[in-house]
Amino acid sequence: MQNHSDAYSYYKNRVDGILASTINKKEPRTLYDPLKYILEGGGKRIRPMMVIFSCEATGGNPEDALNASVALELLHNFTLVHDDIMDNADTRRGRKTIHKKWNDNVAILSGDHLIGLAYTFLIKTNTKRLNEIIDAFTEGIIEVCEGQSYDKEFEVRKDVTLEEYLMMISKKTSKMLQTSAVVGALIGDASSEQIVNIREYAANIGLAFQILDDLLDIMAIESQLGKKIGGDLVEGKKTYLLLKAREVINDKKDKEKIENIIINNGLEKATEDKIIEIKNIYEKYDVIKSANEEIEKYTMLADRHLNTLPDGEAKERLKWFSNMLMSRSF
C-alpha cells in the first residue's frame, strides 16, 4: 500500500468496523447502551495506528496487529471516560460525556468494562510473544493511572515545575503511545534494539502531542476542537503554556495574572475576553513560539530513533504518521 494516507484510512476503517461490532449484547441497557455510545464517538484512532504501523515497520504483518490495535483503542477510551468524570467535563469529541448523559456510576462501570474488553482482544493476538505484550500493556495501564494522579495533584499544587509537567505527561499521554508502539513491535518480532528505539520514537511523539494539545486548547477553532476554548485555563491545569509563562514573564501585572490562575486553581470569571487576554500574554512573551519549538524538537528526536528500523515504505509511514499528528488543528 504505497500511499500513507490511504493506508491510514484503510486500517482506521478496519478498526472502526471492529469497534462497531464489539458490543452485541443489549442487556443490561445501563451498561451496553453507554458502551455503544462511547465506541460510536469516533476519533483519530492514533493508538491503533501506532500499533499497526510499528508492527509493519519492524517486519510484521499488520493484519496480525488488528486485535491488539483494537485493545489499545478500548484502553484509551477507558482513560477518557474516567478522566472526564474526574475533570467534570461536559463534552468529548463534540458530544455529551458519559457521566453527563447518564451518571457517574454508569461512566465508572463502562470504563471498567472497557478494560475487560481490551484484554479480550489483546489475548487474541497471533504472536509467539504474547506474555511480553501483556506485560507491556499492563505496565501501560499502571503508568497512565500514575500520570492521571499527578495531573490531578498538580491542579491544586502551586509550585509545579516544567520538569515535573514533562514527567507527568510522559506517563499520562506519552506512555499510551509508547505502549502502542512496543506492542506493535513485539507482534512484528522486533529485536531488543528496535524495541528500545521504537519506544523512544513514540515517547517523544507523545510529548510533542501533549504540548500541541495544550497549545490547541487556546489556539484552535472551537467548532473543530469539539469543546470550549481555554478549558485548561478555566480548570487551572498546569500546562506547558502556563508553566512556561510563569518562568519567562517579568512584567509585574502580567505575572500577577498568571499567578492568579495558579493560586485560584483556574481563571476567575473566565469570560471569552479573559481567555483572549491570557492568550495575548502568551503571545507577548513568546510562550506560543516556545511551545511550537518544543513540538518541533520532540518530533525531530522521535524521527531520529527510527534509524534502526529497516529502510522502506513502512518506516517512512511512521515518519509520515508523526508529521500528520503534529500538523493537526484539533
- Summarised one tens digit per residue, pLDDT across range 194-218 is 999 999 999 999 999 999 999 999 9
Residue range 26-67, pLDDT digits in tens: 999 999 999 999 999 889 999 999 999 999 999 999 999 999
Cell representation of residue 185: 513491535
**Cell 509511514 identifies what position?**
317
Q: Are residues 109 and 148 in the same domain?
A: yes
Residue 87 placed within a domain: yes
Q: Are residues 81 and 140 in the same domain?
A: yes
Structural domain total, the chain: 2
Residue 253 placed within a domain: yes
Report how far residue 324's alpha carbon sits from residue 61's, in angstroms, rounded to the nearest whole number.
23
Q: Are residues 59 and 177 in the same domain?
A: yes
Q: Are residues 180 and 249 in the same domain?
A: no
Residue 181 placed within a domain: yes
Residue 199 placed within a domain: no
Residue range 142-172, pLDDT digits in tens: 999 999 999 999 988 999 999 999 999 999 9
Q: Are residues 222 and 159 in the same domain?
A: no
Please identify, among 190, 224, 248, the residue that sits at the C-terminal boundary of a domain. Answer: 190
Q: Which of 142, 315, 155, 182 is nearest to 238 (CA)?
A: 155
Three-state SS annotation for 181-221: HHHHHHHCCCCHHHHHHHHHHHHHHHHHHHHHHHHHHHHCC
Cβ atoms of residues 291 and 244 within 8 Å: yes
Q: Are residues 292 and 185 in the same domain?
A: no
Residue range 56-88, pLDDT digits in tens: 999 999 999 999 999 999 999 999 999 999 988
Domain carrying residue 288:
214-304+324-330
Beta strand residue intervals within the chain, DSSP E: 91-92, 95-96
Residue 196 placed within a domain: no
Identity of the amino acid at 2: Q
Q: Are residues 181 and 220 in the same domain?
A: no
